[in-house]
């Protein structure tokens, strides 16, 4: 993987990013198991210096190079400043990362990244790390996880859209936005619209109407209108729903990422994938699939329309 080497083989993978609590580590664990079951050799690389309890098999760990607690203690920095220092330290030690990754040639890579949003919206250290990986012939896609419960709050969803757009423009990688924890979405309240409205980011003027009914947001309607205009003018943000416990959902996300980074699997993996998808549902996949959740919202909306028509 020498820098600038055009003859070296390509390496494919994902950089898993997103705010704290969005499910990045859980996603890496689930995707490692899912890909392993279809025959893909997966290496998980932990780039989060604050990540202590990792459920997945970690092949490369930034803790061997630097840890957040050590930085905070020795440099008297807070968590945010400490994380930024750790990423800058990683950027200054590319040779360490290159040596570690070289031991896993021919593998598919999952990079578990920190949860500090600033690292993906305007700070350059991680962006430079991704750019260096590209020079080493890595073909990566950014998987940006967002907690699906933000869909239940129009104000928060607009904020999520702005953050996702800013991340896409700053990171400069093929990008797949993911609504995580879909199996828990109904615990946070009922969605105002069909799930497709949020995943496809359809006409956002309807969200503005919902915000107008809130006394707090009513005073900021003009600001929200301008934010929505920016999001719609770029027309880049859309989401793939994800339930890590559902193999159909995992397959959907995996295929979206494979399309984004150009990965092309062989016949053996295809046969393994088909066998996995056709197998009886096992103990690992108890939760209701995302499609079932979506169907319930479609049916509830249709019923509400019928009731309004009857009232007229």
Query: What pTM did the predictor assign?
Result: 0.84
Is the pLDDT confidence value at 291 over 60?
Answer: no
Q: What is the DSSP code string of 223-242?
A: HHHHHHHHHHHH----EEE-
21-57 tens-digit pLDDT? 899 999 999 999 999 999 999 999 999 999 988 999 9
| Mean pLDDT of the 89-105 span | 96
Reported as a pLDDT band with limits 50, 70 and 90, residue 7 is: very low
Q: What is the pLDDT of residue 89?
A: 97
Nearest Cα neighbor of 119 from 26, 37, 47, 199 is: 47
Region 138-143 average pLDDT: 97
pLDDT value at 108 more than 80: yes
Let me know if residue 213 belongs to a domain: no
The secondary element (H helix, E strand) that includes residue 299 is helix 290-311
CA angle 233, 22, 124 (to 5 degrees): 60
pLDDT computed for residue 5 by the predictor:
43
Q: In what order do the strands lie in the sheet with 42-46?
A: 58-61, 42-46, 108-112, 11-17, 138-147, 175-180, 239-241
How many CA atoms within 13 Å lie on the side-chain side of 53? 1
Tell whether 214 is covered by a domain: no
What is the C-alpha separation between 190 and 31, in angstroms, rounded? 28
Considering the chain, what is the average pLDDT of its residues?
86
- Residue 302 pLDDT > 80, yes or no? no
In a domain, 221, yes or no: no
211 occurs within a structural domain:
no
Specify if 16 maps to a domain: yes
**pLDDT band (50, 70, 90) for residue 286:** very low
Residue 2 maps to a domain: no
Task: Check whether 202 has a pLDDT greater than 70.
Answer: yes
Domain that holds residue 45: 11-201+237-305
Q: How confident is the model over 132-159, as a mean pLDDT?
A: 94
112 part of a folded domain: yes
Which tens digit of pLDDT belongs to each residue from 250-262?
A: 999 999 999 999 9
Of the chain, the percentage scoring pLDDT greater than 70 comes to 85
Predicted confidence band at 273 (pLDDT cuts at 50, 70, 90)? confident
Q: What is the CATH number of the domain that holds 258?
A: 3.40.50.300
Structural domains of the chain, count: 1
Average pLDDT over residues 189-196: 86
């Amino acid at each position: 993987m020498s820098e600038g080497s055009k003859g070296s083989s390509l390496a494919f993978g994902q950089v898993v990013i997103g705010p704290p609590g969005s499910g990045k580590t859980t996603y890496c664990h689930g995707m490692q198991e899912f890909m392993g079951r279809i025959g893909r050799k997966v290496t998980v690389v932990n780039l989060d210096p604050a990540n202590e309890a990792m459920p997945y098999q970690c092949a490369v760990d930034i803790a061997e190079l630097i840890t957040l607690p050590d930085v905070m203690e020795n440099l008297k920095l807070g968590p945010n400043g400490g994380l930024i220092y750790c990423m800058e330290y990683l950027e200054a030690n590319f040779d360490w990362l290159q040596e570690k990754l070289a031991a896993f040639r021919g593998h598919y890579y999952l990079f578990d990244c920190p949860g500090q949003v600033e690292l993906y919206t305007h700070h350059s250290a991680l962006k430079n790390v991704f750019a260096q990986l590209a020079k080493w012939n890595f073909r990566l896609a950014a998987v940006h996880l967002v907690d699906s419960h933000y869909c239940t709050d129009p104000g928060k969803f607009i904020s999520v859209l702005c953050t996702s757009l800013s991340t896409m423009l700053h990171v400069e990688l093929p990008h797949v936005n993911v609504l995580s924890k879909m199996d828990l979405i109904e615990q946070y309240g009922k969605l105002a619209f069909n799930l497709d409205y949020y995943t496809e980011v359809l006409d956002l003027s309807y969200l503005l109407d919902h915000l107008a009914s809130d006394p707090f947001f009513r005073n900021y309607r003009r600001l929200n209108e301008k934010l929505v205009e920016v999001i719609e003018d770029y027309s880049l943000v859309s989401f793939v729903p994800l339930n890590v416990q559902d193999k159909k959902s995992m397959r959907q996300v995996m295929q979206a990422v494979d399309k984004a980074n150009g990965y092309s699997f062989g016949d053996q993996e295809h046969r393994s994938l088909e066998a996995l998808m056709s197998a009886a549902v096992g103990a690992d996949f108890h939760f209701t699939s995302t499609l079932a959740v979506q169907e319930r919202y479609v049916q509830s909306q249709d019923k509400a329309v019928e009731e309004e028509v009857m009232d007229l």
